[in-house]
Chains A and B, each alone.
Chain A
Amino acid sequence: MRELAGPTIAGIPLIHEADGLVFLNPMLDREWNGGPARHPPLRIRHVERAPSRDGLVALVSAPPPQGTVCLDAAGELAIFADVVDRRGAPQLLRTVRRGHEYEIHYAHGEAADHWQGYWARTAFAYALTGRGLGVLAHAAGVRLPGGGVLLCPGASGVGKSTLAALLAEDLGPGAEVLSDDRVALVEESGVLRAYGTPWRSAAGQAAPGAGPLAAICFVRHGGPPALRPLPTEAATPKLLKALMLPFWSSSEMATLLERLDTIVRAAPAFEFSYAPRPGAGRWLADALAAERAA
């Protein structure tokens, strides 16, 4: 087994391991240097082995590459990704030790080159909930000049990256894009902190910074800039949609809902509609500051 140290994300050092036929791609380290480690490492083992469904109970299926989420005989998470490599062969994520060690089985070792980043993100998300630390959000996170982080959750295409880029452009060095696609939300001593991750959109930015969660903004395209407070009953389901939910485990889900309560109480939620033009980022930062002052 060869070993490659990955970045440290939200205090968790990633360590990739591989057998002889799997090439470990250091792409996660290339532009992203991680941050200080405070937690035990997360080991992700990439193995060339025919993925097997034996002993797995299917829970729910999603379109590729997510595949079928399953439970193994020990009641632990497994994901059978039906058709993902170039030869149409499946891949499998198995839990070795919940929150700490996962194994990826590739029918063809070379598929690991392309897919290991995806599996690292998936394993990291499940390690966060598996350890009860927090949750990975499909969201952009931008640290604003005051230090607080603005979280913009949403599916691909809603304009997370555009808004993150506008905020960075308009606010200059006082703002930092932690990621325009995936943000780790971790509760530390009762404070909800948003951490940057290396997982960003194709043209996006990412940084290993962090800050307390200050506000949540759901983005809508169109019209002059407008910021509308969202009541909890509207914000909660929107936020839930953007979180990697551990729906195979009652205990993990109960912990996650506790975190969600902290998130929703920690940060006011808004809907921000805007046309993507220079100045929209500045407008939003000023409007959020005015809301805070009020």
Chain B
Amino acid sequence: MSKRLLKTLLLLPVLLAALFLGGHQAYGQMVPEITLSFQPQSSVVGLGQQATVELRINNLGDQFLSTYDITIGFDPDILQFFSATFGTELGFGTNGATPGAGTVELSEISFESDNDLNVSQADDFMIASLVFNTVASGTSPLSFGAVMLGGATIFDDQTGEPIEVSPMYAQTTGGSVIVNSPQTGVPEPGTLILLLTGLATVGMARRKDSDNNS
């Protein structure tokens, strides 16, 4: 048996396994996980300004969101919850934002039918837009506390009566808000470096010119 043939026989199962795994990986990628995230994930605002962050849900696919109860955490020494504006993808219903110490609990219950939600709801949408006041400079994380998401209604097979609502699960990605101190006119370190580098370059150029002239 030649070495080439031996190599080929050894490589064949490896290639087949790779194809198999690759295929499955490709299939798994067809159903991305539902995610909850902030948009922008990280924002910078000056102290005294308001920070606006969207809470978004993505990758609903063939599922739909009929209700949620999401607690968001932040650093109360840096941020203060100001307001929430809810999205429209759950249609007519009831919603509310309940601020706590370093938290705000957002909840909404849709009064729309499962069918209407299923037809009209986008795969990715903004759940709510949150506005925070900045109370101190620094970086406040935006984190997810308790998250409860509800999807389709489960009906009794025999009676057709609604029994319960299917819970849904999502991958959460936190965010942050950076609050800067007010501007004082003192150059930042980066600017000084650029200035010094520029001056040095100019100085070196002049010296080279004078050397050449002499």
Q: Do A and B bind each other?
A: no
Residues of B within 8 A of A (CB): none
